[in-house]
Chains A and B, each alone.
Chain A
Amino acid sequence: MSAESFLIAEALAKKFPGGRGKPDLTVFDDVHFSIEKGEFVCIIGHSGCGKTTILNVLAGLDSATAGNVVMDGREVAGPSLERGVVFQGHALMPWLSAKKNVEFAVRSRWPDKSKKEIDEHCQRYLDLVGLTGSEHKKPSELSGGMKQRVGIARAFAIEPKMLLLDEPFGALDALTRGNIQDELKKICAATHQTVFMITHDVDEAILLSDKIMLMSNGPKARIAEIVVNTLPKERSRETLHKEPHFYAIRNHLVDFLVSRSKRFSEELPAGYDARNPPLVMPGVETQPEPPQPKAEVPHPEKAVVVNFR
């Protein structure tokens, strides 16, 4: 964690008062992490570990009980147009058409732009997410995937310094999800967008992110470790499973979610420093690897998609 990092979260904690006589409920505490400019960071963890709360704190929609977040040299004290949010349930306004939804955001960002400029700007971002031709449909006339695309277009259209995505594809079917993942990856690569994303989907995290933060189970959740994605930048969904370290990373993540995440907070490993969670590169480092089932998977392309929802 360097002082020049684009975004620095320090000692974040969220506690809820426990009511009469009961101790406070600590959802997470001592959460430190940093995100560099242009980095795509995913956070993975079980429900209830406070991922959404962390995202809301980054967005400025919620406040942490302790700790602070600094983005681009300035403390995050409230919501800002500098940070675009894609909400879990798309959060489109149902009385506005797709384009008007994007327009609402664009007009908030640039109130002085002319009608024509705003229109062109919105159209550009709707085209970018592949919604050309559906601009004037109301959200109720769009499919789940298209709604989420509008949500993404809305967040991108304000050209924020950072994009926060709260499990954006959770409600979509696998096929639609794949397509939007590809598009999101393309747009992020083209715009060098800094992204923080919550996901439950291990494959999604490996495909999209440069760094994957693993959160242990709550209460008292922590960032257990940070997995560095060593796969080549130009990976794609089709060939992802053929990359040399794919299964090493995937198994490491699944192994963490299935077993290690539960025990982690109770028995912190020796030498664990919450301020500096260990960086791991499964498959590259000399550290003991989790069992390698590579040979036991005869059809890697049919690998079961583990979805921890």
Chain B
Amino acid sequence: MGLKAGALSLVIFLFFLGIWHATTVTPARSGGALTEYEQLMGKSAGKQDGLPTPAQMGSAVKKHLSDPFYDNGPNDKGIGIQLAYSLMRVGAGFLLAALVAIPVGFFIGMSPLLYRALNPFIQVLKPISPLAWMPLALYTIKDSATSSIFVIFICSIWPMLINTAYGVASVRRDWLNVARTLEVGVFRKAFQVVLPAAAPTIMTGMRISMGIAWLVIVAAEMLVGGTGIGYFVWNEWNNLSLTNVIFAILMIGVVGMVLDLMFGVLQKFVTYVE
């Protein structure tokens, strides 16, 4: 099954490459001098702009990946450095969000009163596009790098908060009763009964948050500029290098997948079978 699926994936991939190649490669010129227009537009040097062919793409990927950490000034840094900046921002924003969302979600889940009191705020704040906060963040924080961390913070807080509250609120009554009959203290109950019981739901929230954070960082960095994979994409668009843009898109996908896989592993670690 796995083998068959793999083979099918390969076939689809090759088919896709074939179509890509067929639509981008330009037939060799059938001789004759360049027109004046073509000379003016620099067409003589072969196909440089526009969409690359798979072969050109391949060599670009190889070039980027063979030296990912070079630094030739503000506008020319290796892809590794750009991704590292983005990951650092996502990591910082996400961690801050987790530090706030998980304890607050815990209290909300434990107290129906708090849940009802905070619910309207959460419902209003949750659907706001995180980038809408950017001007406010820039104005108050007065630092673009920190602002992008704030944007990550604000977008990753909601899924974690809501999932934690839900997970904590729906811990099985039986387990809480066991803890009660054993006269278990508040902290021991929170850490040894409620937390492990709600952990899979909390972890799901964290996974969703991480996914959203990785989506948002690209847009945020396009806005604030400077460094990061989002800035790289925009910079290469300004350079009119679609090859690099496509390469960046590929890298965003791969890193996002790796992040998700990591959370998948963590999730497996805390999941229990009832």
Contact = CB atoms under 8 A, between A and B. Distances in A.
Interface SS of chain A: loop
A61 interface: yes
Interface string B217-234: 000000000000000000
B177 A87 contact: yes
A59 B270 CA distance: 32
Nearest to A93: B175
Contacts of B184: 108
B175 A91 contact: yes
A85 B181 contact: yes
A93 B273 contact: no
B78 interface: no
Interface in B176-191: 177-178, 180-184, 188
Interface in A98-120: 104-105, 108-109
Interface stretch (A39-47, A75-83, A193-201, A248-256): A75-83
Contacts of A79: 177, 180-183
B174 A81 contact: no
B272 A95 contact: yes
B174 A83 contact: no
Interface range, B side: 20 to 34
B134 interface: no
Contacts of A61: 177, 180-181
B181 A83 contact: yes
A89 interface: yes
B57 interface: no
Contact of A95 (B181, B183, B196): B196
A228 B182 CA distance: 32
Contact of A93 (B180, B188, B193): B193
A307 B172 CA distance: 28
Given A61-B181, A79-B177, 9 more contacts: A60-B181, A79-B180, A79-B182, A85-B177, A94-B273, A105-B182, A138-B272, A139-B274, A140-B272
Interface of B: 172, 174-175, 177-178, 180-184, 188, 192-193, 196-197, 199, 270, 272-274
